Amino acid sequence: MLLAASSPAGQAPAILPQAFAGWQMQGTPQTSSNAATADPTNAPVLTEYRFTDFESATYTRDDGRTLKIRAARFADASGAFGAYTFYLQPEMNKEQIGDQGASAGDRVVFYRGHVLVDAHFSKETPMSGAELRELAGALPRPGGSAGNLPSFIQFLPRRQYISNTQKYVMGPAALASLQLPVTADQVDFGASSELTVGHYQTPSGEATLVLISYPTPQLAAEHLRRIETAHGVTDTSHSGESTINGSGTFFDKRTGPIVAVASGGISDSDAKSLLGMVNYEASVTWNSPTENAQVRDLYLLILNIVILCAILAGLAIIAGVAFGGFRILMKRLYPDKVFDRPEQMEFISLHLTETVVEEASRAGGEQAADLPRNPS
């Protein structure tokens, strides 16, 4: 059973429901639009992920157990995903809760749409996961494209990936919490760049792979030259888009609008092999959701016209088949009684006889004999 909390008109809906899966909210939930209330230590990081509001509440069950939930809402799913990766730790266990989830003892962290949830059970049970899945289904969802994750993260290779090490970064505060071979100045978040990082176990050791996405390939090429200059890479020509440059513990390349950087105590061949798995492929989505009301209304108008034409065509076919079939059936059951009765069959008849035909032929021959002949 789910009971959703109501909200005044014009305000965003409440994040947490009053009740779910046997849990009942106690008292009034704490709400705030200040990121420092959600996490005083990492408020700048949450702000970079476009934090909007926060809600926390305590739930109880009849068996005496308690559940404390802290939920943060962001402007879109990218922000919730980034915050989830920020709090995710490698030692956590993966959980099938929400869009992605992980647990450590009695604590479960997951995100669903644009909401990040941090849940603490007083006592975990085998049904705790199912209960939180019911909670995830009751959370508000973002509309349109706000529910989409950044597309470039799909180019982070899965082979040799160390579980729970992916991070998604949207600003310098989150980047500063990570030990990466690139700085905020080199990434240049002012150019609308985004970054994701993952750790990999190669035959020669652990490697760090960083993918930096830029709006255009030209911006990516320009920032790649800056990164290479800062790391003392001498060959910065990049005559080919997927040329791998670097030496020692730093290698990089550009593929489309993505700059890929591999680093760590690994061999040159392993670094080049890891970068070789990153290959950008452009994709065009013709049915991407849109928030433009005029475009949506035009789409619905055209769709309704097509549906109406299909319905009318279908009705015409059905009527034609029904009428034709009825005539055939009546003619077989009642021949010449319902349709095609003799008194209703009207047509013009000449009634030509053999005598009339012979007289017409003889008259034609006489007219031909009276014609004047040309002298030879």
Could you read off the pLDDT of 209-227 as tens digits, one per residue?
A: 999 999 999 999 999 999 9
- Whether 372 is covered by a domain: the verdict is no
CB hemisphere CA count around 65 (13 angstroms): 14
Predicted confidence band at 296 (pLDDT cuts at 50, 70, 90)?
Answer: confident
Asked if 209 and 326 sit in the same domain, the reply is no
Asked if 319 and 268 sit in the same domain, the reply is no
Residue 311's SS3 state is: helix
What Cα–Cα distance (Å) separates residue 203 from each residue in 89, 106, 112, 272, 297? Answer: 23, 35, 36, 13, 56
Residue 116 has pLDDT above 80, yes or no: yes
- Whether 255 is covered by a domain: the verdict is yes
Number of domains the chain contains: 3
| Residues paired with residue 102 on neighbouring β-strands, in sequence order | 94, 109
CB 21 within 8 A of CB 131: yes
Query: Residue 253 belongs to a domain with what CATH number?
Result: 3.40.1000
- Whether 155 is covered by a domain: the verdict is yes
Domain boundary among 146, 167, 201: 146
Amino acid in position 171: G
- Whether 172 is covered by a domain: the verdict is yes
Least confident of 1-15, 17-31, 55-69, 82-96: 1-15
Residue 351 has pLDDT above 70, yes or no: no
Q: What is the pTM of this model?
A: 0.72
Asked if 81 and 193 sit in the same domain, the reply is no
Domain boundary among 127, 146, 165: 146
CB hemisphere CA count around 173 (13 angstroms): 13
Q: What is the DSSP letter of 146?
A: G
The H-or-E segment that residue 66 falls in is: strand 66-74
pLDDT recorded at residue 306: 94
Domain boundary among 122, 146, 170: 146
Which residue stretches of 252-292 are H helix? 268-276
- Whether 214 is covered by a domain: the verdict is yes
Which domain range does residue 82 map to? 2-146
Question: What sign for the dihedral angle of Cα 321, 323, 324, 327?
Answer: positive
Residue 232 has pLDDT above 90, yes or no: no
Predicted confidence band at 239 (pLDDT cuts at 50, 70, 90)?
Answer: very low
Asked if 164 and 199 sit in the same domain, the reply is yes
- Whether 318 is covered by a domain: the verdict is yes
- Residue where the block lists tokens 């980034």: 82
Pairing relationship of beta strands 51-60 and 66-74 according to DSSP bridges: antiparallel
Residue 308 has pLDDT above 90, yes or no: yes
Let me know the angle formed at the C-alpha of 291 by 288 and 295, rounded to the nearest 5 degrees: 80
What is the spatial distance between Cα 246 and Cα 255, in angstroms, rounded to a whole number?
A: 16
- Whether 373 is covered by a domain: the verdict is no
Residue 184 has pLDDT above 70, yes or no: yes
Asked if 7 and 133 sit in the same domain, the reply is yes
